[in-house]
Amino acid sequence: MEFGIQNAIFILIFLFSVAFVTRNVIRLTSFILIAKPENRSDRIGKRIWQTFMIAFGQSKLLRFKAAGAIHASIFWGYLILLFSASQSVLEGFGIKHFWNFLGPVYSLITILTDVLCLLIFAAIVTSLLRRFVLKIKRLQTNSGGEIFDAVFILALIAVVVSTILLQNAAAVSAGIAGSSAVHPVGNIIAAYISPETAPMLHDIFWWMHIIAILLFMNYLPYSKHLHVYTSIPNVFFSTIGPVNSLDPINFEEEGAEIFGVVDIEDFSWKTIHDSYSCTHCGRCDSVCPAFETGKILSPQDIIIQIRERTFDRAPILVRQKKENQQAAKENRQPKQFQLSEEEQKTMDKKLIGDYISPEALWQCTTCGACMQECPVNIEHVPAIVGMRRSLVMMEAAISPELQTAFGNFETNATPWAFSPSERADWADGAGVKIAAQNPDFDVLFWVGCFGSFDDRSMKVSVAFSKLMQKAGVDFAILGAEEQCNGDSARRAGNEFLADTLIKSNIDTMNRYNVKKIVTTCPHCFNTILNEYPDFGGKFEVIHHSRFLMDLINSGKLKIKNGSEGIVNVAYHDSCYIGRYNEMYDEPRDTIKSIPGLNILEPERTGDRGFCCGAGGGQMFMEETEGKRVNIERTEELLATGAETIASNCPFCMTMLTDGVKDKEVENVQVKDIAEILLENIG
Ligand code: SF4
Ligand code: SF4
């Protein structure tokens, strides 16, 4: 194509498109800036590596073999196609065969381009089959808008890739293909294009290609496929590693009136960015224990509704914000805009209630499975807990059971009506030192509320203490001075209460100059390890599954030859040890160190493990909707045929023990790994 009228028309259309896209980028950014600031630009090297692995390497998606391979092929195909698309755009400016200077590399790219165009075409057909013929559950929607969106985008992609092939074929037939370009598919199609009509067809296909690209660019900001622009930055700005801590609230901040998330402006800007980045893939729903057991919570829908609310409310807030800034510049009172009837209705609506159901928020177990699976690293749990915080601290909208638990936390520093003075009763006669009487010790055994007060978990505390005594560990407990670690109150939205408990515990431990903590509870472990530092408490914290392994490896615990009784053990990963802290091997290694014990894995295991249903404060709430999560999980564990279910968490222990009782299975026991080990120690 020589530079001429076509180029002039192209440049006009192109500039108009770029201006329109830029306008939308500014509009969407202004919505994000309505929300709270948060530093997400630290540790750049790690962020780049995370982006490389998750976004470019598609590491999360490839865990799902078939669907992952389809999506990854589309994504990698896009990257390669960028060469072809950029060449087409450059042609519009009269620059032909720009990439030829890459020589054989460009030859390879053009070969790949042809192959990828075919693959993408096949992937589009497969996607349509999965959605409309196979009717895959997580891809289904009742929204006509969503169906149009999906089909329109797939059609545009189909036009983009097919016109690449047709353009190449016409170029080959007309003898105008670049010298380094190799078009295996184009060569085949070229045989069906006469050289006389080829130049004209090339121009037609080029225009179709360009118009599809420009339409695609401009349609994206209005579509659920906005993630094409935002997903890579979203991974870059996401939390590095697992999302295992919540941001504290500074209750002393002057003028602070809102605690938690009442509306979109109370989220971190990253949550709004998350909402732009959702691909509607449904992976979060497919692993969510609440969604899977028939409850109304859909983590996908929570994110989508945040975006809906942002698009409804943010334009009004942005307009007022601009006016406020202008007024400040001009040193005058800002004028208050008269809202239209529609705008007033929007402002009168509530994020929680009109967009997101409070019931859904209360159904979350904070298991983190949604975040684990999300291919673009969306962070659902901080958003959900943020909204719970406002329900608790701004509206006191909580269930009577949770109200009771909060009351007990306040008066007894534990969720139950036990006196703090009874905290060490489990240790009576067990020869366990209490810090107040024996302030010199090497390791603090953080017992936790379950280990202190729950009949079943108290036995685990005794078993673990015996193991430490056998290994000669110099340890003590805080006894009456220990308070709940704060996790359940935190995740149930009562940050004020958690703040009080956490600070009190830190003061106590600092008084005893505690450096090293071991605990049998994953919730205590995670909170003290990953959240106490935000409150000024920095301690070395070890979960007993790793601690026991270290004692075995160092020869301090000697295992008997051959197990007594147990042969098959089904191991259940607790979310706060597995997913939150990526400890999958340590508990298994402890079990495997006992000769004769055979670990059986349930269907969902390891980083795909299924929650027991107790986290996020659920232990203290009623589960009224759908199937009980603990029953679902217990059934899976029982299906392994194991005689023993091994757990490493008192929450899981309680839920699974209840599950086994409910299923009326008498020959299966739920045991903590410390108990299994104690039975096999010489
Ligand atoms: S954290 Fe677990 S329960 Fe909560 S929304 Fe995510 S997957 Fe569902
Ligand atoms: S939140 Fe993540 S996993 Fe869930 S639908 Fe959106 S992109 Fe998929």
Structure tokens at 226: 């906005």
Read off the DSSP letter of residue 517: E
Whether 204 and 284 share a structural domain: no
**Per-residue three-class SS string for 354-420:** HHECHHHHHCCCCCCHHHHHCCCCCCHHHHHHHHHHHHHHCCCCCCHHHHHHHHHHHHHCCCCCCCH
Q: Phi first, then psi: give them for residue 446, nearest 5 degrees.
A: -85, 110
- pLDDT of 240: 95
Whether 215 and 294 share a structural domain: no
Whether 283 is in the pocket of ligand 2, judged by its Cβ within 6 Å, is: yes
Residue 617 maps to a domain: no
- pLDDT of 527: 98
Secondary structure (DSSP) of 539-582: -EEEEHHHHHHHHHHTTSS-B-SS-SS--EEEE---TTTTTTT-
Q: How far is the CA of 513 from the centre of ligand 1 (A)?
A: 37
Whether 146 and 206 share a structural domain: yes
Cβ atoms 645, 660 nearer than 8 A: yes
- pLDDT of 490: 97
| Rounded Cα–Cα distance for residues 412 and 557 (Å) | 36
Whether 374 is in the pocket of ligand 2, judged by its Cβ within 6 Å, is: yes
Q: How far is the CA of 47 from the centre of ligand 1 (A)?
A: 24
Which ligand has its closest atom nearest to the C-alpha of 366? 1
- pLDDT of 506: 98
Structure tokens at 257: 């009136």
Which ligand has its closest atom nearest to the C-alpha of 231? 2
Residue 300 maps to a domain: yes
- pLDDT of 4: 83
Residue 643 maps to a domain: no
Structure tokens at 190: 């070229």
Which ligand has its closest atom nearest to the C-alpha of 287? 1
Whether 174 and 275 share a structural domain: no
| Residue to mutate (ligand 2; options 280, 292, 297, 371; most atoms within 8 A of CB) | 280
Q: How far is the CA of 305 from the centre of ligand 2 (A)?
A: 12
Whether 373 and 275 share a structural domain: yes
Q: Which residue has the tokens 């450059």?
A: 90
Nearest C-alpha neighbor of 424 from the set 357, 495, 477:
477
Residue 568 pairs in a beta bridge with 598
**Per-residue three-class SS string for 26-65:** HHHHHHHCCCECCCCCCCHHHHHHHHHHHHHCCCCHHHCH
Cβ atoms 137, 91 nearer than 8 A: no
Whether 383 is in the pocket of ligand 2, judged by its Cβ within 6 Å, is: no
Cβ atoms 568, 644 nearer than 8 A: yes
Residue 384 maps to a domain: yes
Structure tokens at 407: 């009351």
- pLDDT of 6: 87
Whether 217 and 276 share a structural domain: no
Q: Phi first, then psi: give them for residue 36, nearest 5 degrees.
A: -75, 145
Query: Last residue of some domain: 197, 225, 253?
Result: 225
Residue 72 maps to a domain: yes
Residue 655 maps to a domain: no
Whether 100 and 182 share a structural domain: yes
Whether 278 is in the pocket of ligand 2, judged by its Cβ within 6 Å, is: yes
Q: How far is the CA of 527 from the centre of ligand 1 (A)?
A: 18
Atom 3 (ligand 2): residue with closest C-alpha?
Answer: 374
- pLDDT of 45: 96
Q: How far is the CA of 403 from the centre of ligand 1 (A)?
A: 22
Secondary structure (DSSP) of 313-332: HHHHHHHHHHHHHHHHHTTS
Q: Phi first, then psi: give them for residue 83, nearest 5 degrees.
A: -65, -50
- pLDDT of 566: 60
Whether 282 is in the pocket of ligand 2, judged by its Cβ within 6 Å, is: yes
- pLDDT of 200: 94
Domain count, the chain: 2
Ligand 2 atom closest to the Cα of residue 285 is 4
Nearest C-alpha neighbor of 677 from the set 481, 586, 529, 545:
545
Query: Last residue of some domain: 393, 417, 435?
Result: 393
- pLDDT of 335: 86
Whether 617 is in the pocket of ligand 1, judged by its Cβ within 6 Å, is: no
- pLDDT of 144: 66
Whether 130 and 271 share a structural domain: no
Residue 381 maps to a domain: yes
Q: Provide the domain limits for residue 90.
A: 40-225
- pLDDT of 126: 87
- pLDDT of 516: 98
Structure tokens at 605: 């295991």
Query: Last residue of some domain: 359, 393, 427?
Result: 393
Ligand 2 atom closest to the Cα of residue 373 is 3
Whether 69 and 213 share a structural domain: yes
Which ligand has its closest atom nearest to the C-alpha of 384? 1
* Averaged pLDDT, groups of 10, the chain, 682 residues long: 81 96 96 96 95 91 79 79 90 89 90 88 84 74 72 89 92 86 90 93 95 94 90 96 95 90 98 95 94 97 97 96 90 87 95 97 97 96 98 94 95 94 94 94 97 96 97 97 97 97 98 97 98 97 96 93 73 96 93 90 94 94 93 97 95 97 94 94 82
Residue 156 maps to a domain: yes
Whether 220 and 106 share a structural domain: yes
